[in-house]
Structures are given as C-alpha cells and as structure tokens.
Amino acid sequence: MLIKFFNIFKLELYLWFESIMKFIPGKIGILLRIIFYSIVKNKFFFVSISTGTSIRNIKSIEIEKGVGIGPNCFIDSTGGNIFIGQKSAFNESCHINSSVGGKIILGEKVIFGPKVLVRTANHNYSKANTSIQDSGHFFADIIIEDNCWIGGNSTILGGVKIGKGSVIGAGAVVTKNIPNNSIAVGVPAKVIKKIDYAE
C-alpha cells in the first residue's frame, strides 16, 4: 500500500513539474526542459524541446543528439519504447505514441510536418457483445528509417515500416510498408513515384 502511494505521489510530482516546465518560454525554457528531462532520465539530452511539449515515461525513450521537438508535441511510451535518431525534427503538435505497447523507431534526420500522428495501437472492435471501449487494444511496431520526410497531418499506423529516403505526402494515412526512396500519398497511402537521388 505504501509503495503504491509513493508511486502515485512520484507520478503526480513529475506531472506538476512537467506542467510548469513546458510553459516557460525562450532559451531559458529550452534549457530548463533539457535539465529537467535529463535529471529524470539520468542521462544528458542534447536536444531542443519547445513550449507546450509533454514527454511521458522518459525512462523508456531514447533521444539522440541534435533532435528538435516543436511546440505542443506529445510523446508517450508508457507501455512501450521509443527511439529517436540524431537530428530528427518535429514540427508543432506531433503525437508520437506507444502508450499501449510496441516500439517506435525513428532513424536519423527524420523530419515531421505539423500534426503528424504516429501510434502503435488500435482498438479491438470485433468482439461480440462487448463495447469497443471494453475490448482492449492490439499494437505493432513502427519503423521510420533515416532521411524520411513525413508531411503534415499524416498518420502512421502500427505494423508499418517506411524505408529510408522516403516522402509521405501531407494528410496521408500509412497502413502498409513503404519501400526505400518512395513518394507515397493518399488514404490509404500508395506509392506514386520513386525518388532518384543524384550522387
């Protein structure tokens, strides 16, 4: 009972500190957020975290050097794991979520437009005589390899791998794997072109 109370108190303390830290503006705010998350993780982060951003369960999130996280992003690995490669960048209001389970692995120099959703889990909805709300979830890993550009308002669903050097058009919903060096658009996303990178 005492351990349970202590864990609840610790989580509440974290949420209070995070709520204060996330709204401090300017370079001082960025520095304070770096210090705060570095202390919680027990590892120094060379990252930029803008105002309004929440990071849940930092202990199961690895963020490499040079990552930039824009305003009002939400990153949650409560039930899973998240890895963010060097120099990846998130525009505002991105939602990166493995809270139910699974892994999200982002390569180096992956860039996200605003309001991108990356989520490992979906609701079960086919159990007879059971509401969707009470049917639980299923989840699968998501991998986005190096040098990808994920357009604004895109959705990346569980079980998807996006190959290196690919571009996902704005508003796309990615439900299947995308090969390397591809441009994919639409709902569901389909490859419309291969990218010929010049040497």
- Tell me how far apart the alpha carbons of residues 187 and 40 are, in angstroms, rounded to a whole number: 39
Task: Kindly state the tokens that stand for 184.
Answer: 């994919």
> Locate tokens 């639980």: which residue?
136
123 is catalytic: yes
Which residues, in sequence order, are CB contacts of 165 under 8 Å at separation 6+? 145, 146, 147, 148, 180, 181, 195, 197
Q: CA 33 to CA 31: how far, in whole Å? A: 5
Q: Tell me the DSSP string of 125-143.
A: ---TT--GGGS-EEE--EE
Measured distance CA(58)–CA(56) in Å, rounded: 6
Number of Cβ atoms within 10 Å of the Cβ of 44:
12
Q: How far is CA 100 from CA 50, 130, 150, 160, in A?
A: 25, 20, 23, 16
If you search the block for the tokens 């690919």, which residue do you land on? 166
Selecting among 43, 123, 176, 193, the annotated active-site residue is: 123
Catalytic residues: 123
